[in-house]
Structure 1
Protein backbone atom coordinates (compact mmCIF):
# COMPACT_ATOMS: atom_id res chain seq x y z
CA UNK A 1 0.00 0.00 0.00
CA UNK A 2 1.30 3.45 -0.89
CA UNK A 3 1.69 6.08 1.80
CA UNK A 4 1.83 9.75 0.83
CA UNK A 5 1.21 13.12 2.38
CA UNK A 6 2.28 16.75 2.47
CA UNK A 7 2.40 18.73 5.70
CA UNK A 8 3.19 22.42 6.27
CA UNK A 9 5.01 23.64 9.37
CA UNK A 10 5.12 27.33 10.32
CA UNK A 11 8.84 27.17 11.06
CA UNK A 12 12.13 27.15 9.14
CA UNK A 13 13.45 23.79 7.85
CA UNK A 14 16.26 23.43 10.42
CA UNK A 15 13.82 23.77 13.31
CA UNK A 16 11.51 21.17 11.77
CA UNK A 17 14.47 18.88 11.02
CA UNK A 18 15.67 19.09 14.62
CA UNK A 19 12.19 18.13 15.82
CA UNK A 20 11.94 15.25 13.33
CA UNK A 21 15.25 13.89 14.67
CA UNK A 22 14.21 14.12 18.35
CA UNK A 23 13.32 10.59 19.58
CA UNK A 24 11.33 11.91 22.57
CA UNK A 25 9.19 14.13 20.32
CA UNK A 26 8.71 11.31 17.83
CA UNK A 27 7.70 8.79 20.53
CA UNK A 28 5.21 11.21 22.07
CA UNK A 29 3.56 11.80 18.69
CA UNK A 30 3.31 8.24 17.33
CA UNK A 31 -0.25 7.10 18.12
CA UNK A 32 -0.10 4.14 20.49
CA UNK A 33 3.67 4.31 21.02
CA UNK A 34 4.63 2.68 24.31
CA UNK A 35 8.38 2.94 23.87
CA UNK A 36 11.05 4.02 21.41
CA UNK A 37 14.42 3.01 22.84
CA UNK A 38 17.77 3.81 21.18
CA UNK A 39 19.52 0.74 19.76
CA UNK A 40 22.52 2.22 17.99
CA UNK A 41 22.93 5.21 15.71
CA UNK A 42 19.58 6.18 14.13
CA UNK A 43 18.06 2.84 15.18
CA UNK A 44 15.36 2.23 17.78
CA UNK A 45 13.46 -0.65 19.38
CA UNK A 46 9.76 0.17 19.46
CA UNK A 47 6.52 -1.10 20.95
CA UNK A 48 3.26 0.27 19.60
CA UNK A 49 -0.36 -0.70 20.24
CA UNK A 50 -2.65 -0.18 17.28
CA UNK A 51 -6.40 -0.71 17.17
CA UNK A 52 -8.38 -1.06 13.94
CA UNK A 53 -11.98 -2.17 13.80
CA UNK A 54 -12.25 -5.27 16.04
CA UNK A 55 -8.51 -5.95 16.00
CA UNK A 56 -6.21 -4.36 18.53
CA UNK A 57 -2.64 -5.50 18.72
CA UNK A 58 0.74 -4.71 20.14
CA UNK A 59 3.64 -4.65 17.74
CA UNK A 60 7.30 -4.85 18.67
CA UNK A 61 10.04 -4.13 16.21
CA UNK A 62 12.63 -1.73 14.92
CA UNK A 63 12.61 1.76 13.47
CA UNK A 64 15.68 3.08 11.67
CA UNK A 65 16.70 6.19 9.81
CA UNK A 66 18.78 5.72 6.65
CA UNK A 67 20.07 7.77 3.74
CA UNK A 68 20.01 10.90 5.87
CA UNK A 69 20.85 14.18 4.14
CA UNK A 70 21.08 16.59 7.07
CA UNK A 71 18.29 19.15 7.05
CA UNK A 72 16.75 17.81 3.83
CA UNK A 73 15.61 14.20 3.75
CA UNK A 74 15.83 10.71 5.18
CA UNK A 75 14.40 7.26 4.73
CA UNK A 76 12.39 5.80 7.60
CA UNK A 77 12.38 2.00 7.80
CA UNK A 78 10.09 0.20 10.25
CA UNK A 79 9.31 -3.44 10.92
CA UNK A 80 7.04 -4.84 13.59
CA UNK A 81 5.43 -8.12 14.56
CA UNK A 82 2.54 -8.86 16.87
CA UNK A 83 -0.43 -11.14 17.36
CA UNK A 84 -2.43 -9.50 14.56
CA UNK A 85 0.41 -10.00 12.06
CA UNK A 86 3.25 -7.91 10.77
CA UNK A 87 3.81 -4.37 9.55
CA UNK A 88 6.72 -3.24 7.38
CA UNK A 89 7.24 0.30 6.12
CA UNK A 90 9.72 2.14 3.92
CA UNK A 91 9.05 5.87 3.70
CA UNK A 92 11.03 8.83 2.35
CA UNK A 93 10.63 12.08 4.31
CA UNK A 94 11.68 15.26 2.48
CA UNK A 95 11.77 18.80 3.88
CA UNK A 96 11.71 21.88 1.68
CA UNK A 97 11.65 25.56 2.48
CA UNK A 98 8.70 27.73 1.57
CA UNK A 99 8.53 31.48 2.16
CA UNK A 100 5.10 33.06 2.51
CA UNK A 101 4.13 36.33 0.85
CA UNK A 102 4.66 38.04 4.20
CA UNK A 103 8.22 36.69 4.33
CA UNK A 104 7.65 34.04 7.01
CA UNK A 105 9.66 30.83 6.69
CA UNK A 106 7.59 27.68 6.40
CA UNK A 107 8.65 24.10 5.84
CA UNK A 108 6.86 21.65 3.59
CA UNK A 109 7.30 18.00 4.63
CA UNK A 110 6.61 15.45 1.90
CA UNK A 111 6.01 11.81 2.78
CA UNK A 112 6.15 9.04 0.16
CA UNK A 113 6.61 5.31 0.58
CA UNK A 114 5.04 1.92 1.04
CA UNK A 115 3.64 -0.09 3.93
CA UNK A 116 3.04 -3.83 3.90
CA UNK A 117 0.85 -5.70 6.36
CA UNK A 118 0.24 -9.41 6.79
CA UNK A 119 -1.64 -11.80 9.04
CA UNK A 120 -5.02 -11.22 10.63
CA UNK A 121 -4.75 -7.46 10.24
CA UNK A 122 -4.37 -7.82 6.46
CA UNK A 123 -7.76 -9.53 6.27
CA UNK A 124 -9.43 -6.26 7.24
CA UNK A 125 -8.91 -5.14 3.69
CA UNK A 126 -6.68 -2.54 2.12
CA UNK A 127 -9.31 0.19 2.24
CA UNK A 128 -9.68 0.07 6.03
CA UNK A 129 -5.94 -0.33 6.58
CA UNK A 130 -5.22 2.57 4.22
CA UNK A 131 -7.61 4.93 5.99
CA UNK A 132 -6.31 3.89 9.42
CA UNK A 133 -2.70 4.42 8.30
CA UNK A 134 -3.58 7.85 6.92
CA UNK A 135 -5.33 8.79 10.15
CA UNK A 136 -2.27 7.75 12.22
CA UNK A 137 0.05 9.65 9.87
CA UNK A 138 -2.10 12.79 10.10
CA UNK A 139 -2.24 12.55 13.90
CA UNK A 140 1.54 12.18 14.06
CA UNK A 141 2.18 15.28 11.95
CA UNK A 142 -0.53 17.30 13.75
CA UNK A 143 1.20 16.47 17.04
CA UNK A 144 4.63 17.36 15.65
CA UNK A 145 3.22 20.68 14.38
CA UNK A 146 1.85 21.43 17.84
CA UNK A 147 5.36 20.95 19.28
CA UNK A 148 6.71 23.60 16.90
CA UNK A 149 4.11 26.04 18.22
CA UNK A 150 5.10 25.54 21.87
Structure 2
Protein backbone atom coordinates (compact mmCIF):
# COMPACT_ATOMS: atom_id res chain seq x y z
CA UNK A 1 0.00 0.00 0.00
CA UNK A 2 1.18 3.52 -0.77
CA UNK A 3 -0.43 6.72 0.47
CA UNK A 4 0.70 10.22 -0.53
CA UNK A 5 -1.00 13.37 0.74
CA UNK A 6 -0.36 17.06 1.35
CA UNK A 7 -1.98 19.17 4.08
CA UNK A 8 -1.82 22.84 4.93
CA UNK A 9 -1.24 23.48 8.62
CA UNK A 10 -2.29 26.84 10.11
CA UNK A 11 0.98 27.39 12.04
CA UNK A 12 4.63 28.25 11.29
CA UNK A 13 7.01 25.40 10.50
CA UNK A 14 8.72 25.33 13.92
CA UNK A 15 5.36 25.03 15.71
CA UNK A 16 4.26 22.21 13.36
CA UNK A 17 7.59 20.41 13.92
CA UNK A 18 7.30 20.67 17.71
CA UNK A 19 3.73 19.32 17.61
CA UNK A 20 4.75 16.39 15.39
CA UNK A 21 7.33 15.47 18.02
CA UNK A 22 5.05 15.86 21.05
CA UNK A 23 3.83 12.43 22.15
CA UNK A 24 0.82 13.84 24.04
CA UNK A 25 -0.41 15.71 20.97
CA UNK A 26 0.15 12.65 18.77
CA UNK A 27 -1.65 10.36 21.22
CA UNK A 28 -4.64 12.71 21.22
CA UNK A 29 -4.69 13.03 17.42
CA UNK A 30 -4.07 9.45 16.22
CA UNK A 31 -7.43 7.63 16.05
CA UNK A 32 -7.48 4.63 18.37
CA UNK A 33 -4.12 5.47 19.96
CA UNK A 34 -3.91 4.35 23.57
CA UNK A 35 -0.28 5.23 24.29
CA UNK A 36 2.97 6.50 22.83
CA UNK A 37 5.95 6.22 25.14
CA UNK A 38 9.61 7.00 24.58
CA UNK A 39 11.59 3.79 24.12
CA UNK A 40 15.13 5.00 23.40
CA UNK A 41 16.54 7.79 21.23
CA UNK A 42 13.94 8.75 18.63
CA UNK A 43 12.12 5.47 19.30
CA UNK A 44 8.64 4.97 20.71
CA UNK A 45 6.45 2.10 21.90
CA UNK A 46 2.92 2.48 20.55
CA UNK A 47 -0.38 0.79 21.48
CA UNK A 48 -3.53 1.41 19.46
CA UNK A 49 -6.80 -0.14 18.37
CA UNK A 50 -7.74 -0.14 14.69
CA UNK A 51 -10.63 -1.45 12.64
CA UNK A 52 -10.30 -2.45 9.01
CA UNK A 53 -13.53 -3.79 7.62
CA UNK A 54 -14.62 -6.68 9.82
CA UNK A 55 -11.20 -6.96 11.54
CA UNK A 56 -10.71 -5.02 14.77
CA UNK A 57 -7.55 -5.48 16.79
CA UNK A 58 -5.28 -3.94 19.35
CA UNK A 59 -1.83 -3.36 17.89
CA UNK A 60 1.40 -3.00 19.81
CA UNK A 61 4.51 -1.91 18.04
CA UNK A 62 7.46 0.40 17.62
CA UNK A 63 8.03 3.61 15.78
CA UNK A 64 11.52 4.96 15.01
CA UNK A 65 12.38 8.38 13.62
CA UNK A 66 15.31 8.30 11.19
CA UNK A 67 16.93 10.66 8.67
CA UNK A 68 15.99 13.61 10.89
CA UNK A 69 16.59 17.09 9.46
CA UNK A 70 14.81 19.36 11.97
CA UNK A 71 12.51 21.21 11.32
CA UNK A 72 12.22 20.06 7.71
CA UNK A 73 11.89 16.30 7.42
CA UNK A 74 12.13 12.87 8.97
CA UNK A 75 11.20 9.31 8.14
CA UNK A 76 9.02 7.25 10.45
CA UNK A 77 9.76 3.53 10.40
CA UNK A 78 6.99 1.52 12.05
CA UNK A 79 5.93 -2.03 12.78
CA UNK A 80 3.09 -3.45 14.81
CA UNK A 81 1.54 -6.78 15.74
CA UNK A 82 -2.19 -7.24 16.12
CA UNK A 83 -2.29 -10.85 17.29
CA UNK A 84 -4.54 -12.98 15.10
CA UNK A 85 -5.51 -9.90 13.05
CA UNK A 86 -2.02 -9.79 11.60
CA UNK A 87 0.71 -7.21 11.36
CA UNK A 88 1.58 -3.94 9.73
CA UNK A 89 4.96 -2.45 8.92
CA UNK A 90 6.35 0.27 6.75
CA UNK A 91 7.69 3.78 6.64
CA UNK A 92 6.50 7.32 6.01
CA UNK A 93 8.61 10.22 4.77
CA UNK A 94 7.30 13.48 6.28
CA UNK A 95 8.30 16.88 4.85
CA UNK A 96 7.44 20.32 6.26
CA UNK A 97 7.79 23.39 4.04
CA UNK A 98 7.04 26.90 5.27
CA UNK A 99 4.35 28.60 3.19
CA UNK A 100 4.99 31.96 1.54
CA UNK A 101 3.03 33.74 4.25
CA UNK A 102 5.40 32.38 6.98
CA UNK A 103 2.40 31.73 9.27
CA UNK A 104 1.40 28.39 7.78
CA UNK A 105 3.20 25.22 6.75
CA UNK A 106 2.70 22.61 4.07
CA UNK A 107 3.08 19.04 5.34
CA UNK A 108 3.44 16.29 2.77
CA UNK A 109 4.08 12.64 3.32
CA UNK A 110 4.48 9.42 1.41
CA UNK A 111 3.80 6.23 3.32
CA UNK A 112 4.57 2.69 2.20
CA UNK A 113 3.12 -0.14 4.26
CA UNK A 114 2.69 -3.89 4.19
CA UNK A 115 0.06 -5.85 6.07
CA UNK A 116 -0.18 -9.56 6.73
CA UNK A 117 -2.52 -12.05 8.34
CA UNK A 118 -6.27 -11.41 8.35
CA UNK A 119 -5.63 -7.79 7.36
CA UNK A 120 -4.07 -8.91 4.09
CA UNK A 121 -6.93 -11.33 3.42
CA UNK A 122 -9.66 -8.66 3.51
CA UNK A 123 -8.27 -6.91 0.45
CA UNK A 124 -6.27 -3.85 -0.42
CA UNK A 125 -9.33 -1.69 -1.12
CA UNK A 126 -10.55 -1.97 2.47
CA UNK A 127 -7.04 -1.55 3.89
CA UNK A 128 -6.34 1.51 1.71
CA UNK A 129 -9.73 3.02 2.58
CA UNK A 130 -9.17 2.51 6.31
CA UNK A 131 -5.67 4.03 6.07
CA UNK A 132 -7.03 7.12 4.28
CA UNK A 133 -9.83 7.47 6.84
CA UNK A 134 -7.38 7.25 9.77
CA UNK A 135 -5.02 9.76 8.10
CA UNK A 136 -7.90 12.14 7.40
CA UNK A 137 -9.12 11.98 10.99
CA UNK A 138 -5.54 12.48 12.26
CA UNK A 139 -5.09 15.69 10.24
CA UNK A 140 -8.52 16.98 11.26
CA UNK A 141 -7.62 16.48 14.94
CA UNK A 142 -4.05 17.71 14.46
CA UNK A 143 -5.16 20.98 12.83
CA UNK A 144 -7.70 21.50 15.61
CA UNK A 145 -5.01 20.85 18.23
CA UNK A 146 -2.65 23.34 16.57
CA UNK A 147 -5.26 26.10 16.58
CA UNK A 148 -6.69 25.31 20.02
CA UNK A 149 -4.78 28.12 21.73
CA UNK A 150 -5.84 30.67 19.08
CA UNK A 151 -9.55 30.46 19.80
CA UNK A 152 -11.24 33.25 21.75
CA UNK A 153 -12.86 31.98 24.96
CA UNK A 154 -16.63 31.86 24.65
CA UNK A 155 -18.66 34.16 26.86
CA UNK A 156 -20.35 32.12 29.53
CA UNK A 157 -23.87 33.05 30.47
CA UNK A 158 -25.04 32.92 34.08
CA UNK A 159 -26.81 29.60 33.49
CA UNK A 160 -23.76 27.92 31.86
CA UNK A 161 -21.85 25.51 34.10
CA UNK A 162 -18.73 27.23 35.46
CA UNK A 163 -16.90 24.01 36.29
CA UNK A 164 -16.40 22.81 32.69
CA UNK A 165 -19.32 20.37 32.58
CA UNK A 166 -20.36 21.64 29.15
CA UNK A 167 -16.89 21.11 27.72
CA UNK A 168 -16.57 17.68 29.35
CA UNK A 169 -19.84 16.57 27.78
CA UNK A 170 -18.66 17.72 24.38
CA UNK A 171 -15.45 15.69 24.69
CA UNK A 172 -17.40 12.58 25.64
CA UNK A 173 -19.65 12.99 22.60
CA UNK A 174 -16.63 13.52 20.33
CA UNK A 175 -14.89 10.47 21.78
CA UNK A 176 -18.01 8.37 21.27
CA UNK A 177 -18.31 9.42 17.61
CA UNK A 178 -14.62 8.76 16.88
CA UNK A 179 -14.89 5.22 18.24
CA UNK A 180 -17.73 4.25 15.92
TM-score bucket (shorter structure) = over 0.9
CA distance in 1, matches of 2:102, 2:95: 20
Unmatched tracts of structure 1, length 5 or more: none
Unmatched tracts of structure 2, length 5 or more: 149-180
TM-score, length-scaled by structure 2: 0.79
CA distance in 2, matches of 1:10, 1:58: 32
Residue 145 of structure 2 is aligned to residue 147 of structure 1: yes
CA distance in 2, matches of 1:31, 1:132: 11
Counterparts in 2 of 1:120 and 1:72: CA distance versus 1, 3 Å: same
* 1:148 counterpart SS class: helix
Q: Determine the structure 1 residue equivalent to 2:41.
A: 41
Counterparts in 2 of 1:96 and 1:104: CA distance versus 1, 3 Å: closer
* 1:31 counterpart SS class: coil
CA distance in 2, matches of 1:80, 1:104: 37
Q: 2:123 aligns with which of 114, 125, 134?
A: 125
Two-structure CA RMSD over aligned residues (Å): 1.0
- Rg (Cα) greater in structure: 2
Counterparts in 2 of 1:34 and 1:135: CA distance versus 1, 3 Å: same
1 or 2, which has the higher strand percentage? 1
- Displacement of 1:113 in angstroms is 2.3
Give the count of matched residue pairs.
147
Q: Determine the structure 1 residue equivalent to 2:174.
A: none
1 or 2, which has the higher helix percentage? 2
- Displacement of 1:104 in angstroms is 5.7
CA distance in 1, matches of 2:33, 2:115: 18
Superposed, 1:33-112 pairs within 5 Å as: 33-83=33-83, 84-99=85-100, 103=101, 105-112=103-110
CA distance in 2, matches of 1:66, 1:142: 25
